[in-house]
Chain A
């Protein structure tokens, strides 16, 4: 599903990264670890099409993401990639339900209220749909952001430090939820983290080394 080749990125002459080749099949999970500063977030943004690689290739399914330009990359990301962040952020003025509708709207995908309701109920946040996001507990917020990443049934889910702000209990349930949902939705799941607690939860792991300075 996801395959990278000779991926490189340079912020400037002094700060550049080259990444090992990665692969992750549909329904599989890949954990990318490494100390801060080794380019984890850069890699994630490259995989999401937010940054454009200076060299190398990224293919997702049949699409060569690294060949897409700005607007096309935006469109592809909206339709095919779900993102989960360290801290759950929402549009504060919209209800949870509208926040969950947003990716479908922006990614030009159909999403019925019923389907969103079922997804939310499945993740245990069905009762929060009519509320504003900041009324939810941290655990509920992280579940809601996972739900948001799943709404468009993406081929690839990218998670950036999804657990590092959570306590052990929430950490375990969130990582369990992420891997199970990715498998159920037949999506490739890539998690970048420095959170050592996750090493036991995901089998496929790549460690990035400090480089480039």
Chain B
């Protein structure tokens, strides 16, 4: 019954309440979306960082090198001679090297020349078919298979570069030998093949094209784009970069350090948005206060009436406090919906571009957000609730 009174009272004059709920929904929506983005991006960054202590590639921006070689989102910094990488392999402080050679793309999904250590590094498992054994055989990720409809045994032709409209290499096709199970890592969005495939496509291409990087076949030095390095110890992971940066023509970057740096830069934006959202939340708290306080003046006689019918002060106090908290919970529910709507828009718009699909399940921090929102509602309702608690019943009845 008390719940009914609370609900009916809010529904009776819905405009003031609606503003409060809308403001609360906006602020909790922004915060909840930030929480979801942050936790999922961090998870994703961590997962893709598996076992990679260093990335070795051409000189340039270390962040770009990490983004391109580990997360496959940016353009590579350039090429490095295979010879140099093979020298690294002999070093005692390095326990494993995975070469990466970017060649072309297929329907905007990258084709990556590498070896099978790349798949085992991310814990990839074959869903069907077998791994690649020779040039021009490819294993494709789960998302790629889903989006392109490619199946084991089919042949596809790559496109030069990274764009869908690029020039098509139709002289040498890849054969799909296997499809990987979904692993929620970069594997899902890649077509994997031997490094040699990437070379052979372009070498044969050179014979009948007039590319600016046209060289005689035997003078082309074998090049790859980058290499993922696993160090033998934490100590060598710390000392290797300096050694490689000073004594070779390549650069070594630590993904963990670079991602930390990136997160710090993003953090400024996130903090700004969070501050904005908290500001909106304060205003919404104020609006809840105004809505309840205005209604309190109109309802003073109703409350006195309830007191005269035996409703205790404390019960009346709780009733008004609950009104504020009900507004808060409603606003929070709206905010959760808003944040999911935001993610959905991101997913439909940009997921393909970033090879990442955001998930909708709640994160634990949202529970905290709920708690804080309810607290804001309760604090906003506190003054009206206290003045109802302290109401002089005799005078309130006589004044009407």
Min Cβ gap B295→A in Å is 10
Across the interface, do B312 and A89 meet the contact criterion of CB distance under 8 Å? no
**A91 touching B302 in the complex, CB below 8 Å, given contacts A50-B393, A85-B400, A105-B1:** yes
Across the interface, do A93 and B310 meet the contact criterion of CB distance under 8 Å? no
> In the complex, A90→B311 CA distance in Å?
15
Across the interface, do B310 and A79 meet the contact criterion of CB distance under 8 Å? yes
A98 contacts across to B, CB distance below 8 A: 1, 4, 8
Min Cβ gap B174→A in Å is 70
B308 at the interface (CB under 8 A from A): yes
Across the interface, do A93 and B12 meet the contact criterion of CB distance under 8 Å? yes
**A74 touching B394 in the complex, CB below 8 Å, given contacts A93-B11, A101-B1, A102-B1:** no
Instruction: Report A81-113 CB contacts with B as 1/0, cut-off 8 Å.
Output: 001010101111110001001110111100000
Give the interface size class of chain B: 20 to 34
B122 at the interface (CB under 8 A from A): no
Min Cβ gap A144→B in Å is 13
Across the interface, do B309 and A78 meet the contact criterion of CB distance under 8 Å? yes
**A74 touching B5 in the complex, CB below 8 Å, given contacts A45-B397, A50-B394, A93-B11:** no
Min Cβ gap B266→A in Å is 48
A70 at the interface (CB under 8 A from B): yes
Across the interface, do B9 and A78 meet the contact criterion of CB distance under 8 Å? no
**A106 touching B8 in the complex, CB below 8 Å, given contacts A41-B398, A101-B1:** no
> In the complex, A168→B183 CA distance in Å?
86
B238 contacts across to A, CB distance below 8 A: none
Across the interface, do A83 and B400 meet the contact criterion of CB distance under 8 Å? no
| Nearest opposing residue in chain B for A109, CB measure | B310
Across the interface, do B397 and A107 meet the contact criterion of CB distance under 8 Å? no
A51 at the interface (CB under 8 A from B): yes
> In the complex, A145→B309 CA distance in Å?
12
A194 at the interface (CB under 8 A from B): no
> In the complex, A92→B303 CA distance in Å?
11
Across the interface, do B309 and A85 meet the contact criterion of CB distance under 8 Å? no
B8 contacts across to A, CB distance below 8 A: 93-94, 98
Using a CB-CB cutoff of 8 Å, which residues 51-93 of chain B contact chain A? none
Using a CB-CB cutoff of 8 Å, which residues 295-315 of chain B contact chain A? 301-302, 305-314
**A106 touching B5 in the complex, CB below 8 Å, given contacts A45-B394, A91-B302:** no
B313 contacts across to A, CB distance below 8 A: 70-71, 74
Instruction: Report A50-89 CB contacts with B as 1/0, cut-off 8 Å.
Output: 1100000000000000000011001111110001010101
| Nearest opposing residue in chain B for A94, CB measure | B8
A101 contacts across to B, CB distance below 8 A: 1
Q: Can you sample 29 A-B contacts with CB below 8 Å? A: A41-B398, A45-B394, A45-B397, A45-B398, A50-B308, A50-B394, A70-B313, A71-B312, A71-B314, A74-B307, A74-B311, A74-B312, A75-B310, A76-B310, A78-B309, A87-B400, A89-B301, A89-B302, A91-B305, A92-B12, A94-B4, A94-B5, A98-B1, A98-B8, A101-B1, A102-B306, A102-B309, A106-B306, A107-B309
Which 4 pairs of residues, A with B, have the shortest CB-CB distance?
A78-B310, A93-B12, A93-B8, A105-B1
B contacts, CB < 8 Å to A: 1-2, 4-5, 8-9, 11-12, 301-302, 305-314, 393-394, 397-398, 400
